[in-house]
Chains A and B, each alone.
Chain A
Amino acid sequence: MSALCKAVCVSKRAAELARIPCRSLLGFTKHYSSGETGETPGNEEGTPPAEKRLGGFAAAFELHSDLQQKHDIAAATVGKTASSKKKQSFAYLLKHSPLVQMGTAKDKVAVGKIFHIVNDDLYIDFGGKFHCVCKRPAVDGEKYQRGSRVRLRLVDLELTSRFLGAKTDTTLLEADAVLLGLLESKPK
């Protein structure tokens, strides 16, 4: 699920990565025709002709899902998974996690996945500790089903408040987010 968050945060870095010639594991296939050929022999696509350029966010999302797949395949074949995981300490993992890289949650756009629906309430998990609950929008209401990916603007990761006379905060065990719409670039 944290892969969903990564799509947002690496949107800047994705542009940098696209220009760097790939060294070991990553082969770019469909969307980037900047003349880079993957060094791994398993890259069957070759250098494709220039295709339709996707918009910024969608391109970053596509890139990241490709990167993730390539990395997983390469890591599995090369067999370096165990050693690469051991080297990363908790502090390293935390520092480079999308949650920390994102910063404050307010007004950040994230991709979430609907995991439960109760009539008009959509329970959406976006990779944080809690899920958020949003009302089904009037536009394209039927398209919001279990498993749909949606775009959210986060407001708060956990709704808590200290009431008068209480020792600890009262928590609603929910996050707060505004539903922006479906993830258009993903073909269903």
Chain B
Amino acid sequence: MAVGLLKKALPRLGLAVPAWPGVRCMTSRLYGTAAAQTQIHQPDNSVGSDKILTEPLKHPDFFRLSELFSLKDLFDARVHLGHKIGCRHRLMEQYLFGCRLEQDILDLDQTMEHLQQALNFTAHVAYRRGIILFVSRNRQFTHLIESMARDCGEYAHCRYWQGGLLTNANVQYGKGVRLPDLIVFLSTLNNVFQQHVAVRDAAKMNIPTVGIVDSNCNPSLLTYPVPGNDDSGPAVELYCKLFRMTINRAKDKRRQMEILYGLKSQND
């Protein structure tokens, strides 16, 4: 609801319209808002600006992200290793290749597809100048994730999550605060092995989420779950590298397209 009000008050925020099939206007899906549909105002309505935004949507892999990773890279980074069978979450069974000596093995073929979709979505959000927030409560990788976020010009929140960060943002941060357009979870669990509060809150606030789900995680509330290992160093380093390269690629592409269509870029 707050997001709808934010958009009505400040239509020039230019919040990204995600490339969800068949969803043009988000406010029509928010509970409690009236039937009035807020038009997503673009900075200027010229043909060039339209081309910049519609051109990437015509290609299945506009940013050529499939060349960033391969099955072997995922395998060498130990992405396929899951937890023991006793820790398994029932909803993760569809992503498992099998169980070997009580250790779950994730199916990397499925992971490849999910990762491709997740990276593609992230690239489109970054292309449209969306705000991306990286969240993880795994203390071992806090520094790595924060420096990766800084390197690609996005945001990270790997510390204690206060309850109302997303749902009570107007009170906690003042009016007119812009919420993230995408939240990427490099681990969806918090330190007591419960689902991170941000997963539920992002779903409440209609913020799409990308999340690496291990065999003990619940994938149901995430928009783009990626079954994979979230505990090993090489795996998390690989994810960080992939997200950083994706976002940088998308931003570079945006600059190229703007030059191509002769528009001056507006600084946020």
Contacts and interface: CB of A to CB of B under 8 A. Distances in A.
Contacts of B146: none
Given A1-B234, A90-B107, A129-B81, 9 more contacts: A88-B72, A105-B101, A128-B78, A131-B233, A158-B103, A168-B88, A169-B87, A171-B84, A171-B87
A90 B86 contact: no
Given A90-B109, A130-B231, A130-B232, A160 B84 contact: yes
Nearest to A169: B86
A186 interface: no
Interface residues on A, range: 20 to 34
Nearest to A159: B84
Interface string B74-88: 011010111110111
B58 interface: no
B100 interface: yes
Interface string A78-106: 00000001001111011001011001110
A103 B103 CA distance: 12
B62 interface: no
B105 interface: yes
A86 B102 CA distance: 29
Interface of A: 1-2, 85, 88-91, 93-94, 97, 99-100, 103-105, 115, 125, 127-131, 157-158, 160, 162, 168-171, 173
B109 to A, nearest CB: 6
B233 A115 contact: yes
Closest CB pairs A-B (n = 5): A169-B86, A129-B81, A90-B108, A160-B84, A169-B87
A87 to B, nearest CB: 11
Contacts of B83: 129, 158, 160, 169, 171
B231 A90 contact: no
27 contacts: A2-B76, A85-B70, A90-B97, A90-B107, A91-B97, A94-B75, A94-B97, A97-B75, A100-B100, A104-B101, A115-B233, A125-B233, A129-B78, A129-B82, A129-B103, A129-B229, A130-B231, A130-B232, A158-B83, A158-B103, A160-B83, A160-B84, A168-B86, A168-B87, A168-B89, A168-B193, A171-B216
